[in-house]
């Protein structure tokens, strides 16, 4: 079962659910009114009765209207019911900066939800999808395969500095990595993938090798994912660090509509190159 705004015969605002209503029918793919708190509550109730619903917010900013359901019910019911209820629900939707959609439709809200007790990589889970990644084309295996999203991905092995990133910023980091290699640096790039819990095993092994860390995120500078990750690194791997942990984040401002100003608010590859040069001095 999945519910959300226009997820049915329209196929979703970004066509992620295209064809599902035809294949599975209207009882399993439900178009809902523009009432995020209500249809999120429907999904949570369905999960409590044993279904495994997927709830889509047309835009992650809209899920702020369902924050009460996600926090007080979705995140806490397993605990407050003494384990009587499990909430096997996936809440997903698009977000991020880069399509000139204005402040309300270009929010980076992952840190809002990361802080909710009970939301993690098992039930229940919140999945953030960046709008600029939908049209990317990459090679995938021909056979069926499964990814463990709790494990970070080693994107590029290296020796000089560990760069930790996720989502769209992975591609900015890889652009910067090409420049860094030409300058004589050997960065190790890790896509952390899971924001809660962090894969500290993979992250720690990299830090023990490079002894330097740069975090690159699209989340806000204040109270963002990078702040949580930096705290975890300092708590667990302080003795292995040869330089302060540096974090590049988006500006603490609403996202402008103008494309040039919008681009200014998020981390660009040139900033990543400069940061690595500073760390490796």
pLDDT in tens, 70-82: 999 999 999 999 9
| Domains of the chain by start residue, with CATH | 2-133 (3.40.50.970), 153-279 (3.40.50.920)
Cβ within 8 Å of residue 227, ≥6 positions away:
111, 247
Out of 8-12, 117-121, 212-216, 244-248, pick the least confident: 117-121
Q: Which sign does the torsion angle of CA 66, 68, 70, 71 carry? A: positive
- pLDDT classification of 1: cutoffs 50, 70, 90: low
Look at residue 4 in the predicted model and tell me its pLDDT: 66
98: closest CA among 108, 112, 84, 83? 108
d(CA 43, CA 53): 6
Average pLDDT over the chain reads 93
Look at residue 179 in the predicted model and tell me its pLDDT: 98
Task: Tell whether the model's pLDDT for residue 211 goes beyond 80.
Answer: yes
Look up the pTM and report it. Answer: 0.93
């Amino acid at each position: 079962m999945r519910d959300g705004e226009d997820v049915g015969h329209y196929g979703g605002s970004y066509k992620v659910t295209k064809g599902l209503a035809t294949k599975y029918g209207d009882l399993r793919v439900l178009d809902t009114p523009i009432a995020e708190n209500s249809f999120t509550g429907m999904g949570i109730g369905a999960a409590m009765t044993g279904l495994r619903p997927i709830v889509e917010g047309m835009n992650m900013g809209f899920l702020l209207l369902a924050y009460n359901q996600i926090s007080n019910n979705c995140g806490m019911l397993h605990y407050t019911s003494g384990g009587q209820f499990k909430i096997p629900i996936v809440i997903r939707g698009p977000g991020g900066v880069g399509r000139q959609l204005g402040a309300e439709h270009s929010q980076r809200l992952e840190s809002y939800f990361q802080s909710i007790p009970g939301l993690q990589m098992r039930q229940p889970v919140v999945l953030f999808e960046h709008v600029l990644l939908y049209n990317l084309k990459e090679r995938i295996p021909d056979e069926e395969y499964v990814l463990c999203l709790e494990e970070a991905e080693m994107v590029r092995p290296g020796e000089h500095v560990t760069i930790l990133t996720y989502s769209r910023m992975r591609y900015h980091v890889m652009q910067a990595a090409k420049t860094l290699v030409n300058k004589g640096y050997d960065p190790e790039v890790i896509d952390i993938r899971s924001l809660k819990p962090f894969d500290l095993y993979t992250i720690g092994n990299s830090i023990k090798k490079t002894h330097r860390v740069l975090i690159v995120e699209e989340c806000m500078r204040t109270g963002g994912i990078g702040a949580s990750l930096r705290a975890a690194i300092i708590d667990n791997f302080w003795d292995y660090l040869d330089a302060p942990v540096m974090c590049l984040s988006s500006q603490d401002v609403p996202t402008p509509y103008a494309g040039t100003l919008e681009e200014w608010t998020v981390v660009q590859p040139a900033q990543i190159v400069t940061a690595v040069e500073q760390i490796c001095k």
